[in-house]
Amino acid sequence: MPVFYGTEVASPLMLGTAQYPSPAVLAEAFRRSGAGVATVSVRREAGGERAGQDFWRLIAGLGVRVLPNTAGCHSVREAITTARMARELFETDWIKLEVIGNTDTLQPDPFGLVEAARLLVAEGFKVFPYMTEDLVLADRLLQAGCEVLMPWGAPIGTGLGLLNPYGLRSLRAHFPDVPMVIDAGLGLPSQAAAAMEMGFDAVLLNTAVAKAGEPAAMAEGFAKALEAGRLARGAGPMPPRDMAAPSTPVMGKAFL
């Protein structure tokens, strides 16, 4: 199972908690999938005191690790303020750091991301930065003190899957010992399996499950796909080749 900042989590599946049809459906998705981490948007869930308390009781009842996030933040100051709120509200120093730079693609601002990460690490936060599959950005975030990287598969909520397999493979190969989570853009369990086959440690998703016709069934499907991808990676998959190769030996076959 993946280990983040010295803590082992129960599953490589990390689920968001937004957009579900009901709290009961959310809880069932976590139960059937065995997801090990729940991500929570601080600003959305803490807006009303009563609603926030009810939501926190629901999340606490799931029995999983909570990863608050700074979703919707467009500046360093905004992200840091939200992270501080999250630490007080959820009593954790884990934070998924988002500093959005483009409102259409929700692509992170790399400059603001590195600055915010550096400042939060200095305050004792364990930062999970949402980033693009950029080697230079990854290096800067590691220098800032991050011990986990969270490259996107595709823009948030698109379901397009792993748009840049070459870039993701390069990132994974360049930093082989850094825990990495594919965060955002996955729409199908097969895409999650492909991420695990590449050697990533976990995936984080929300929309693909919450907006499915049967969210709990989709969550379970993602969990099973992740296990299949993990087993395939560990088994040593055959390399691709350009030429066909017969699976039945020719030697010993009768020639007429």
Domain ranges for the chain? 3-235
User: According to the model, what pLDDT value does residue 1 have?
Assistant: 87
Q: Is it the case that residue 10 has pLDDT exceeding 60?
A: yes
Confidence at residue 116, expressed as pLDDT on a 0 to 100 scale: 98
Q: Determine the 3-state secondary structure of 246 from DSSP.
A: coil
30: confidence class by pLDDT, cuts 50, 70, 90: very high
Q: What per-residue confidence (pLDDT) applies to 255? A: 62
Domain 3-235 carries which CATH code? 3.20.20.70
What residues act catalytically? 96
Q: Return binding residues for 1-deoxy-D-xylulose 5-phosphate.
A: 157, 184-185, 206-207
Give this prediction's pTM: 0.90
> Annotated binding site, which residues?
157, 184-185, 206-207
Residue 157: per-residue pLDDT:
92
How large a percentage of the chain has pLDDT more than 90?
A: 80
Whole-number average pLDDT of the chain: 92
Place of tokens 């989590």: 9
pLDDT (mean) for 154-177: 96
pLDDT tens, residue by residue, 187-226: 999 999 999 999 999 999 999 999 999 999 999 999 999 9
- Do residues 70 and 79 lie in contact, with contact meaning Cβ atoms separated by under 8 Å? yes
Tell me: pLDDT of 163 over 80: yes
63: left (phi over 0), alpha (psi -120 to 50) or beta: left
Give the mean model confidence (pLDDT) for residues 28-49: 80
* Among 80-84, 135-139, 211-215, 234-238, the least confident range: 234-238
pLDDT on residue 50: 47
The answer to whether the beta carbons of residues 203 and 195 sit under 8 Å apart is yes
Percent of the chain with pLDDT over 70: 93
With 0-12 / 13-18 / 19 or more C-beta atoms within 10 angstroms meaning exposed / middle / buried, residue 170 is: middle
